[in-house]
Amino acid sequence: MNALARPVPAAGLTTADRWLAGLLLITGLVIRVLYVLHFRVDSDEPQHLHVVWAWANGMLPYRDVFDNHMPLFQALCAPLFKALGVRPDILIPMRMAMLPIYAATLFFVWKIAATLFSPRVALWTAALTAFCPFYYRPFEAAPYFFASIEFRPDQLWTLLWLATLSVFVSGQATPRRALVAGLLLGASFSVSMKTSLYLLTLTFSFIGALLARRAMGGEKIAWTRLVRCAGAGLLGMIVVPALVVLFFVAHGAGKDMYYCVIKHNVMPHPHQIGPFLKNTAHWLLWMPFAVIGSWIITRLNFSVPVRTRVVFIYLAGVLFYQTLAWYWPILTAEDFIPFFPAMMVTAGAATVGLAGLISHRLKLPAMILPALCVAGELAYIVTEPHGAPTDPRTGIVTAEQRGTGADGQKLLPIGDGSGANSPFVNQTADRVGLVADVLKLTEPTDVVMDAKGETIYRERASKLVMEALTIKRLLLGLKDGGVEDDIVEGLIKHRTPVLSSRRMTAKAHQFIQANYILVAWRLKALGQWVRVGNQKLSVPSEFETVIPARYTLVTASGIATGTLDGTPFTGPRELEPGHHEFIMSGTPDKVALVWATAIERGYSPFNKIPRDYTTPQD
């Protein structure tokens, strides 16, 4: 191909553009850092951090800790995690580590736009992308800005996607360039298996770009050249995944990895043809957006090579969106993160171009309208409420899903117009406090239980991670890879003293209600209520224990007095599984049996415990 022909911008990049865009970007960076510190915690974040903790402590994912994601992102984060040490707020510095990835993603947006358009268009396109306000209902608003704050592999996945697109549009199609792009795609596969969507999208985008090139009268590309490029790309694409797989096979975890990454994520369907044909029909109904947009691009006053590459970038964004929306089995807001920067390369350029025309007609400085657009995005981000109450999760029985929190407390939604969306309002305190409570309540050798790893620093009583696909498999009764409800068995086997009861199965929920008692926000310790306050002193309180542990009996005023199993109760006692009887002496009062360590470390069911709340991120 010839050198790229650049369009002459309506107004060249000026010092005013640089200063104004820079000021907006710095303002946005400050707001972003505030959100890193304060934005609500998604349940996926500690899930990933728990896997990082496993890497940092010599454990092997899939074999020792369940994870249904590819391992590259977590493995790369392990050295930083280890260097930071054990700290309740580990999420915050790990989120900070996402900032360079975010900046690199914007760099590639700028680089692609600078290659295809003008420096001024590139600068403002990057600024517009930085605060992209679009959203995909029914998910929360502005998923790109906020989901890219969170600690999740999707950040690296998106960066590798933009880097791949940049390689494709930065020069001629050569085997060497295809090899580099293949290596990036291979690295992307090692971060997320959703890269299969990239591969499909790139294939269709290449076909669309070649058809557009042909329609514009561009010179033909020899098929032998295309074959060599395709071969080099495929070769590069298998290198990193092959090394990753060989690593796990060499460590005896090949079968575990296959189940967790492949089998667990592919849900069996008894009637696959019907849904596939229906989804394909929906996919085709979206094709006019791709076709009409490509046709408009072919009519622009650019050279054929530039128009061809713009068509390719445009199709990469549009086709990724529609392929993801209609073929991916479970959609979440973060799945759409790569769409926004890819789409903004063309959408941002169109916005800046239109703003230039309007500015010219109104005799305004060219940078005013793009700057107003960026300022509008920032205003939208800090004023649009996020985190509306979630719907009940079908099939998972917890007290929270019946409209109440632990011990009957009413749930409190956030994002209800009360200022919860402000970057100055700390929404991380409860989750950070939960980790702090677990670190204070337990020793490193203790085994705990939670839904997805939200306690981060402790081994779990079951490998079962209650994410969406696990829940579906349990509901369908699938046991093709060891995913069965063994939570109760794990609690008993490991004598689990502390747990977080969210997202538990019906069987586990029933067991937890009978054998654990709330002692802190979202945390329960071994124990139960054994006596109500209006019960007569002469009436024995009978109860059963299932998990042997060192227990104590307490009232609101301190250690209970009376007789336990026929002997005076004077303090903590080791209780074996079985039937027990307590006779109260003194003033009638409400009595709780509690894991003694919790009481000794300042935790009690009689303490004032903050009310629970629920959000879609739980």
What is the model's pLDDT at position 575? 96
Query: In this structure, are strands 459-460 and 447-448 parallel, antiparallel, or unpaired?
Result: parallel
Most trustworthy range by pLDDT among 167-176, 363-372, 443-452: 443-452
Q: How many CA atoms lie within 13 A of 294 on its CB side?
A: 28
What is the model's pLDDT at position 154? 94
Written in H, E and C, the secondary structure of 148-159 is CCCCCCHHHHHH
Confidence check: pLDDT of 243 > 90 = yes
CA distances from 173 to 160, 179, 210, 589 (A): 19, 11, 12, 81
What is the model's pLDDT at position 141? 45
Torsion, CA 121, CA 126, CA 129, CA 130, rounded to 10: -150
pLDDT digits (tens, 9 = 90+) for 336-385: 889 999 999 999 999 888 888 888 888 888 888 889 999 988 888 888 66
What is the model's pLDDT at position 550? 97
**Higher pLDDT residue, 222 or 152?**
152
| Percent of the chain residues past pLDDT 90, beyond the cut | 63
Confidence check: pLDDT of 97 > 60 = yes
Q: In 68-217, where does DSSP find H-type helix?
A: 72-84, 91-96, 99-116, 119-130, 143-147, 154-169, 175-189, 195-215
Confidence check: pLDDT of 401 > 60 = no
**Residue labelled with tokens 């591969």:** 199
Task: Give the DSSP H or E segment for 430.
Answer: helix 429-441
Confidence check: pLDDT of 270 > 80 = no
**Higher pLDDT residue, 405 or 322?**
322
Report which of 539, 527, 529 is spatially closest to residue 588, judged by C-alpha positions.
539
| Percent of the chain residues past pLDDT 70, beyond the cut | 89
> Of the given ranges (103-107, 417-421, 515-519), which has the lowest mean pLDDT?
417-421
- The chain-wide mean pLDDT, for the chain, equals 86
Task: Give the DSSP H or E segment for 471.
Answer: helix 468-476
Task: Give the DSSP H or E segment for 575.
Answer: strand 573-575
| CA separation for the pair 534, 541 (Å, rounded) | 12
Report which of 254, 225, 228 is spatially closest to residue 242, judged by C-alpha positions.
254
For residues 177 and 167, the answer to whether their CB atoms sit within 8 Å is yes
- Mean pLDDT, range 461-483, rounded to an integer: 81
Confidence check: pLDDT of 399 > 70 = no
Contacts of 21 (CB under 8 A, 6+ apart): 123, 124, 127, 367, 370, 371, 374
What is the model's pLDDT at position 132? 83
> Of the given ranges (232-246, 392-406, 547-561), which has the lowest mean pLDDT?
392-406
Contacts of 12 (CB under 8 A, 6+ apart): 118, 119, 120
Diameter of the chain measured on Cα atoms: 99
Confidence check: pLDDT of 9 > 70 = no
Report which of 601, 467, 580, 579 is spatially closest to residue 523, judged by C-alpha positions.
601
* Residue 344 CB neighbours (<10 A): 25
- Mean pLDDT, range 438-449, rounded to an integer: 97
- Mean pLDDT, range 500-526, rounded to an integer: 94
**Higher pLDDT residue, 588 or 228?**
228
